[in-house]
Amino acid sequence: MKGKVLIGELGIHYEIKGEGPLLLILHGWGSSTESWQKVQQELSSEFKVVILDLPGFGKSETPDQPWTIQNYLSFLERFIQELELEDFYLIGHSFGGSLSVKLATIHPELVRKMALIDSAGIRAKPKLIARIVKNLAEKSECIFMGPLIKLKRGIKKILYKLLRNTDYGKANETMKETMKNVFDYYVPETFLKESYPKNPDNRGNFLKDLEKVDVDTLLVWGEEDKITPLRFGKIFNNKIKNSKLEVISGVGHSPHLNATSPMVQIILNFFE
């Protein structure tokens, strides 16, 4: 069954398949229901599986202003209410994983068990090339202006070319600002070596929410994940009470696409 529901002023696309206990899937940034249909098909033999296109993705409409993680949570609360979902199992991938964490901390009564797949929530240290580009660009502001201005422009072109191939580069302006807002919620990896930083603007609060999770949680991680590396999965495992980490070898950030059946079997074993 495919449908569309109006949440606020946004038309939201969703799909439901199967019978049994409810299971809600939240996709990652830049993804949609389309990339989860194979998983939905396999899980529908045991569950009534609900997948949706989050606002700004797939066939759902885009907000007219940039959103924060709180806006997505408020949307999700209304979506759950509109479709009368309760006492459900929850799967979240990447960005959908961080949103699942937020939902489980605010509404633990709704979630039976939760599976986080290569979840986002921790910001990795800048890659070497990004650090080099940033450093050179900064230095070109304060050293000899002539040839370094040209160098700076050249560096910018390289950086923009790299960005065009990322989720950020492909997004429209509203979703670019939304992505920045979401990243403000994530905790920088450098913070993990310190006590919680003093953040008057509430940046990096994801780690605190991670420690509030009181729902039985399965962590599934691709061993070769370069976007949210396995070391982050180990941090999740350490911070979330009653959590279990399962690693799929030879797989990157998207086990739902590249190791569908093994991932589904791990989830079924945990949920049942």
CA distance 126 to 106: 31
Other residues' Cβ atoms within 10 Å of the Cβ of residue 121? 26
| Residue 130 confidence (pLDDT) | 57
CB of 36 closer than 8 Å to CB of 260: no
CA distance 92 to 97: 4
Residue carrying the six token digits 């409409």 = 61
Q: pLDDT, tens digit, for every residue of 153-175?
A: 555 455 445 444 455 455 689 99
* Residue 132 or 210, more confident: 210
Using alpha carbons only, give the angle 203, 207, 210 rounded to the nearest 5 degrees. Answer: 135
Identify the helix (H) or strand (E) that includes residue 178: helix 173-185
CA distance 215 to 101: 9
Does 200 have pLDDT greater than 70? no
DSSP state of 18: -
| Residue 143 confidence (pLDDT) | 39
Which residues are CB-contacts of 176 (< 8 A; sequence separation ≥ 6)?
168
Q: Classify 118 in phi/psi space as left (phi over 0), alpha (psi -120 to 50) or beta.
A: left
| Residue 218 confidence (pLDDT) | 98
3-state secondary structure of 163: helix
CA distance 161 to 43: 39
Other residues' Cβ atoms within 10 Å of the Cβ of residue 143? 9
Six-digit token string for 42: 């396999």
Beta strand residue intervals within the chain, DSSP E: 2-7, 10-17, 22-26, 48-52, 88-93, 111-117, 122-123, 187-188, 217-222, 243-248
Which residues are CB-contacts of 17 (< 8 A; sequence separation ≥ 6)?
1, 40, 41, 44, 48, 49
Does 261 have pLDDT greater than 70? yes
| Residue 153 confidence (pLDDT) | 56
% of residues, the chain, pLDDT over 90: 74
Backbone dihedral angles phi then psi of residue 133, each to the nearest 5 degrees: -60, -45
CA distance 126 to 203: 18
3-state secondary structure of 204: coil
CA distance 217 to 186: 19
DSSP state of 10: E
Q: pLDDT, tens digit, for every residue of 113-155?
A: 999 999 999 998 766 545 544 554 554 444 333 444 444 555 5
